[in-house]
Chain A
Amino acid sequence: MDLEYTAGERAFRDEVRAFVRARLPGDIARKVLEHRRLEKDDYVRWQDILAERGWLAGHWPREFGGCGWTAVESHIFDEETAAAGAPRLIPFGLNMVAPVIMAFGSAWQKSHYLPRIRANKDWWCQGYSEPGAGSDLASLRTRAVREGDHYVVNGQKTWTTLAQHADMIFCLVRTDTTVKKQEGISFLLVDMHAPGVAVRPIVTLDGEREVNEVFFENVRVPAQNLVGEEGKGWTYAKYLLGHERTGIAGVGASKRELATLKAIARSERRNGRPLAEDPLFAARMAQVEIELIALEATVMRVLASRGSAPGPEASILKIKGTEIQQALTELMMDAVGPYAAPFRPEAMALDAEDAPVGPEYAAPLAARYFNYRKVTIYGGSNEIQRNIIAQMVLGL
């Protein structure tokens, strides 16, 4: 039992910290730390900087051009970049489709797509959910019919995060309607710029455009873009879900948000003294912080015991990680009291021209609280995660 970082890990932390301090653009960091709106260019700029340093895919195995970081090193990287206000890395290419291609992709897919992801050449998005296939994902209906050396895709995906920026989408499509629903699904990589692909925004409850509907009308996809075997898409999707759930814990970002919450609570006042010293509010903050300390240790335990592709236990990380993220947005909103109410989308931009209403930090907090209701729904809702644990871990 030794829970200290090794000298090598501490040196790595210093190296990451120094790099981020030197290279993370100040305007991007301010947007993240102040909860402002991030544009495509913000993500791309930061990911280009990391790609240039060879760290965008640092957690990938060396054989695929990564640095082969250990789970602990990846955690340190996440923690340091998040603390400094770096945007989250768009996970769809780096952490979602890439592990599937590494495990099941063809030689061509590995040599073509992985270097492009590593170099931040393509923006990927995820084509899983459909209007009739949410938690019951296997009932998806988007069809892919083989015609010679192409698949012809027709159907619709939805809740597609940042599809408006995307160059590529990885899709679960139905290639066989005559077999059990899980067995007729294939995993297909589709060019978002191909004829017949259309993207339509869905405005979310915070007034922002983050998710979209994606329509496919007779989209021709080269057969070489089928990952693995036809009909095995469901197996690959489950493999991917394991990867998604660990990243989803979001410990580094939650630590940063906790620090922000504490700063706001020191600045706000209640009964003539700092809100941070109010026993009720302090107790609520303490409870979240304690959960976060526990979660961080649980993440490390899971990663230490299972390597980079954890099993169904990882559902715990998704459940607790997202509950904590939501609790933090809720406390921050509560902290500003009546100034939670003003809704000014223009204040989501950096250096808005008009004067702020109330404290500068208050403007995005309620919108953010509402935006974060998504986290217990996406990536397999927390109820689905509980089903997974009940069946796969507890044997119920």
Chain B
Amino acid sequence: MDFSFSEEQQLLRDSLARFVAREYPFEKRRAIVRSAEGFSREIWAQLAEMGLLGLTLPAAHGGFGGTAVDTLVAMQALGGGLVVEPYLASAVLGAGTVARAGTPAQRERLLPAAARGELLLTLAHGEAGARYDLAQVAARARRAGTGFVLDGRKAVVPWGAQADVLVVSARTAGAEREAAGISLFLVERAAKGVSVRGYRTIDGQRAAEVALDGVTVDAGALLGPLDEALPIIERVVDVGAAALCAEAVGVMETLNAQTLDYLKTRQQFGQPIGRFQALQHRAVDMFIHLEQSRSLALLAAVRADAEDAVERARTVSAAKAHLGRSGRLVAQAAIQLHGGMGVTDEMPASHYAKRLTMIDFQLGDADHHAARFAALG
């Protein structure tokens, strides 16, 4: 049993940490979040340059063939700097789905460009009312000639207004909550009939409501097997959930460090407030949450690539359920221990707390994953 990272992984971790420290100071992040597009093309290009965007894509299509543990290393470092750039949406979920389900031609068309940072993808799967149930898909795709016509609504699609290509799930058969009958399609955001309403999320990222009204795609747009896309979606979402767990660990690391720093410097009653036991014990609980979360994020990353679907689902759901809950608690404690400063926009800690909280709302919250874990015995 070996919990250490490989030399390459340590190198990736260190170079990303240096990059974040050098290129992503908090004031710059503020400007990026306020910008029209919501992320920095310059930073994106630099991440591509570092090989991050192709980290887990197949070597035959411009990637490095990495594992979910490599993704963990990347996400943890990005979380540590509260990087908003759409790494999860594009590289892990969007390109990840193409890598897993695409034909060689589809992969070749999209993945090298994605790895170079020239093409942004996202997964447009969630729908209003579905919450986190992956099988609940009401959007429809009906055959038209050799191609398909898509109609439906996709909800809170990460970076949906910025992505060039949307990986859209739609029903080609079956009823709304049936496991069978779901298919995936590659849809250009600029295609006729696609309308996108983009917005900011409370943690400084972007998402969009996507409407598909009679969107015509050709047969080459079908990604993966007809009617049988759910197992692919489940797998990609598990990998994504594991990645979010790693991001949460990175966010917690920085947030805990900021909070400790505040406890050691803020003076009240003639001494640093960190001398008070009530605050010490809360800080210790933050530390314990971090270490337990770190353990689960590692397990989730290792099992996210597992072929055994039950083992994969159980471990990822255990981790995501725990991270959702502990992330919430750590964020609350960090704000509380910062006192009044914790509720200001000025303090980076409040932004870390917001991201940590919102991670719970992506790809399944704590209750969803606890129920899924329990159902698997």
Contacts and interface: CB of A to CB of B under 8 A. Distances in A.
Interface of A: 1-6, 9, 72, 279, 282-283, 285-287, 289-291, 293-295, 297-298, 300-301, 304-305, 313, 316, 319-320, 383, 386-387, 389-390, 393-396
Contact of A300 (B3, B5, B284): B3
Nearest to B314: A293
Given A2-B1, A4-B1, A283-B374, A301 B287 contact: no
Contacts of B315: 293
Interface stretch (B21-29, B98-106, B291-299, B355-363): B291-299
A3 B6 contact: no
B2 interface: yes
Given A286-B374, A290-B318, A390-B281, A1 B275 contact: no
A320 B326 CA distance: 14
B327 interface: no
B295 A301 contact: yes
Contacts of A298: 291-292, 294-295
Given A291-B322, A389-B287, A394-B287, A3 B260 contact: no
Interface of B: 1-6, 9, 69, 260, 263-264, 274-275, 277, 280-281, 283-285, 287-288, 291-296, 298-299, 301-302, 315, 318, 321-322, 367, 370-371, 373-374
A293 to B, nearest CB: 5
Given A290-B322, A294-B318, 17 more contacts: A1-B9, A6-B1, A283-B371, A286-B321, A286-B373, A293-B315, A297-B296, A298-B291, A298-B294, A300-B3, A316-B287, A320-B292, A386-B281, A386-B285, A390-B280, A390-B283, A394-B260
Main SS of chain B's interface residues? helix
Contacts of A390: 277, 280-281, 283-284
Contacts of B288: 316, 319-320, 389
Between A290, A304, A319, the greatest number of chain B beta carbons within 10 A of the residue's beta carbon is seen for A290
Nearest to A383: B281
Contacts of A2: 1-2
Given A283-B371, A286-B370, A396-B264, A291 B281 contact: no
B2 A1 contact: yes
A285 B374 contact: yes
Nearest to A319: B288
Contacts of B281: 383, 386, 390
7 contacts: A72-B1, A285-B374, A286-B321, A287-B370, A297-B298, A387-B280, A395-B264
